[in-house]
Amino acid sequence: MKAAVLHEVNTPLRVEDVEIDGPGPREVLIRTGASGVCHSDLHFVEGKYSISMPVVLGHEAAGTVESVGEQVSYVKPGDRVITCLSVFCGHCDRCLSGRPVLCTRADVVRSPTEKPRLRQGDTPVTQMAQLASFAELMLVHEHATVKVRDDVPFEQLALIGCGVTTGLGAVLNTARVEPGSTVAVIGCGGVGLNAVQGAVLAGALRIIAIDAVETKLTIAQEFGATDVVDASGGDVVEKVRNLTDGGVDYSFEAIGTKETAEQAFDMLRAGGTATIIGMIPQGTKIELDGPSFLREKRIQGSSMGSNRFRIDMPRYIEFYLQGRLKLDELVTQRMKLEQVNEAFEDMKQGYVARTVITFD
């Protein structure tokens, strides 16, 4: 099959032939229909997060089941599925306590003594997030899939596989935003726009979108933001405080930097909660004002929207079909696999909400 392979940090991905094994027990072979290009992929290209190479990136995808291995009972050939990086084992303490997004994932990967799922000659090829969706085919554990209806395009389904679920889930599952509350979202890319949508669904009274790109602020208003703050002019925290009663009840950081994480905490009112969604680079430390904790201000992380994806994703599809969730508007452009590096460049320039790679 053809796949986009990363061999070294800060080098372009190369579309090459990669050998893919047949499905083993509990595994599913999927023909990729579409894959979103997410900022998380770029973090690995730029070396902000480490991963074994060569690696096939991509983790926001949907497709059609081609074949299944032994013991697979959840899906069958022909089923349309969304894949999710929150693959779960179903029996560890995190899964059994109702937090499958934090699964230890011990039994959902092949052991080092087994034949690798992907390889080039004698060299194993890593699957990003156990998915590797920048490829014509994906070989995954059945617990990385959710069956979905077949009347929604792959492009929209793919976005639910990461960006939509991460943004909506941070608001609805991780922070549990209350109706009538005030919300600020820092960063209005694909994930941030979905945090804005999540705040709308949660019934927030004020939703403040913050970004340094004017076009993104305009889009955020279309997605439900009641107010916008242009971060390019500085004084972001003070501007948010002036728009509210001294700060917001909930803030969401969707960029992944030290500065914006600290801003998310500083713009809270007493008793507020900051939720960090962005992937802050490994080794980065953030600094917070100690006395703020006496005012019961909180900061927390969110892993993939604290999802229970087999429950959440079908619900998000229904919200979309009811007109209560914008997905079409998230797709800025469509590209082929060979254009993946161009998609990364557009992302770095801030031109897009989401680029989607499509496979015919």
Splitting the chain (360 residues) into consecutive groups of 10 residues, what average pLDDT does each group show? Answer: 97 97 97 95 93 97 98 97 96 94 91 94 96 98 97 96 97 98 96 97 98 93 97 94 96 96 97 96 92 93 96 97 95 95 90 88
Q: What is the pTM of this model?
A: 0.94
- The answer to whether residue 165 is domain-embedded is no
**Are 19 and 121 part of one and the same domain?**
yes
Q: How far is CA 156 from the centre of its chain?
A: 14
Domain region containing 65: 2-147+327-358
311 within a domain of the structure (yes/no): no
Phi first, then psi: give them for residue 214, nearest 5 degrees. Answer: -60, -40
Query: What is the pLDDT at residue 63?
Result: 98
- Same domain membership, residue 13 and residue 114: yes
In a domain, 107, yes or no: yes
Same domain? 76 vs 207: no
Q: Name the domain count of the chain.
A: 2
Length of the chain: 360
In a domain, 80, yes or no: yes
Sheet of 126-127, strand order: 14-17, 2-6, 55-56, 126-127
> Where is the domain boundary, 269, 286, 302?
302
Residue 263 contacts residue 229 (beta carbons within 8 Å): no
Residues 125 and 210 in one domain: no
Q: Does residue 84 sit in the same domain as residue 209?
A: no
Residues 295 and 347 in one domain: no
In this structure, what CATH number is given to the domain that contains residue 232? Answer: 3.40.50.720
Number of neighbouring beta carbons within 10 Å of residue 133: 36
Looking at the fold, whether 239 and 285 belong to one and the same domain comes out as: yes
Strands (E), the chain: 2-6, 14-17, 19-20, 27-37, 55-56, 60-68, 80-83, 118-120, 123-124, 126-127, 137-141, 145-147, 182-186, 206-211, 227-230, 248-253, 268-276, 298-301, 333-335, 355-358
Q: Is residue 318 part of a domain?
A: no
341: Cβ contacts below 8 Å, ≥ 6 apart: 12, 13
Predicted local confidence at residue 350, as pLDDT: 78
In a domain, 220, yes or no: yes
End-to-end distance of the chain based on CA atoms, in angstroms?
A: 14
Tell me the CATH number at 71.
3.90.180.10
The answer to whether position 68 is within a domain reads: yes
Q: For residues 225 and 336, state if they share a domain.
A: no
Q: What are phi and psi of 122, to 5 degrees?
A: -95, 5
Q: What pLDDT is recorded for position 352?
A: 81
Are 115 and 56 contained in the same domain?
yes
pLDDT of residue 337: 97
State phi, psi for 164 to the nearest 5 degrees. -65, -50
Q: Are residues 88 and 201 in the same domain?
A: no
Residues 14 and 116 in one domain: yes
Residue 16 and residue 140 in one domain: yes
For tokens 């959710």, name the residue: 146
In a domain, 201, yes or no: yes
